[in-house]
Chain A
């Protein structure tokens, strides 16, 4: 009860002091504003990258493992994988027959080709040879028309299913289904358009700028020597829990297919969404750490500014502290008076920072890339601001609270 009343008075004084020193308080908050804006932008950027990343790989299911020649994330051991043989379609079919009934296996093969439809052209579009099982291992489905069927694959039909970016690039607003386009020098008939995946991640794969064709047609049109084939095999487990066991099994089967001796290392790689997310999170962790370090420095500078102004405030009000002590203020009420003042200055800076950062984010969102601030980040920023205030105010406040009443009263 007593303490509560004391705090009420401390709070009142702090606000009164801020009102009396508006200009000074505002200038002091500048450092805090900059720091808080930096904190919010760093966290928003990291958060945004993470979201974009998740979104752009959302078609890659968490219950699917991919058997490929190379790992998806190659750091600095590229030479270890360079001499591996490619995965042949024949080997993929063998794996599929071994796993029949226990998993869905879909081989695919990809390359870049130029597209042409009448006068419209697109260069370097990703062409993926696949089977009807593509729509089972990935969440992406056709939006218009239909997907490739078993019949298309066995009969090596020259049909294709295009992504939305390809549709927009070649056909504009006109209907694409049943039109014939050229992939490289071969003519393919459009049988479907995939739904939009969105969010190409920083130069990563754009899943909307793809064309699916039957894998057999792909080999026929672009394949060449089977020794140079390099197929990716998607293996979908019946459930997320079964992924680990399946992975083990796939490795065993692949070693048999590749006729590896026990002492030999795998000459293929198992890839999963988890691997990618893990690698990405590592990178994001470093980015966030560096970002927060830099923002930490700017907040520290802002905090030092607040500490300085609080020392001024305590010195200016030495006599007032003496008066308050003479009529019975306890050390803690003086301490809180100045802590509140420092926290209030920083809170003000924090709130202005929140507004500035929100505006900046909105501008970035409208011009550069999709970005949005999140409420938890703003809350964290405001709490950080208050924390800086309390930390910066403590030393000056402590000095005020410890003043001897007589000396304080005599202070001119």
Chain B
């Protein structure tokens, strides 16, 4: 299934998984089958997220596809130059992967191989443009591909609650011009801010599908940590207060689920879907979806 076929026909739900630091990934499939089947349209597979070396996103996407899931293959520009990137993307096409999320990626210095060479031969915008070219039958250097061009749906990222909304919108426009067909956003915690962002998007770019990033907060400390360390995230005091109120409920995940479900209900009328980043709590996804009445 290619995502562009279902946007605007249904409220699209995706969830993100991060492969482990291991080659033995098959057992995870059972877990995904248990928690990520019902109502989940596609699964994002992160590409050595936060520059920590893991099982690769291409291999995991193929495995998901072979097990009946619809993967969204995430690709960053951190580790590969334009030759390797395009080559991997052709591999993905062969294995039936149709949905991509194209990112610049974190710098190696934030991860577990701090001395690694940061490649960044391309960035998110030029990678999107590259895939667009492949879809038209040409590589980035303008050489013709033999046979039929691959078919993809190109996803990109945007941070709607950043303190730098102007430059985000500027970059979003570049991504759309380069070929982005849908956006998954950084985590949303302030429905008002998100709706303001959506209004700007509609005014400038019309009907481009936007999927709001959602997570289940696990603790007060996690919320504070994210506020301090993760760019574009802005968890308001009111949410932190709710987490503080009933420590037990927060620890069990009940409070985090309620907060997330309320955010989903608030923003649902304004966007085309949600993208759940469960940060280890994939077993809570079914509960979240039923709480949010999805």
Whether A and B are associated in the same complex: the answer reads no
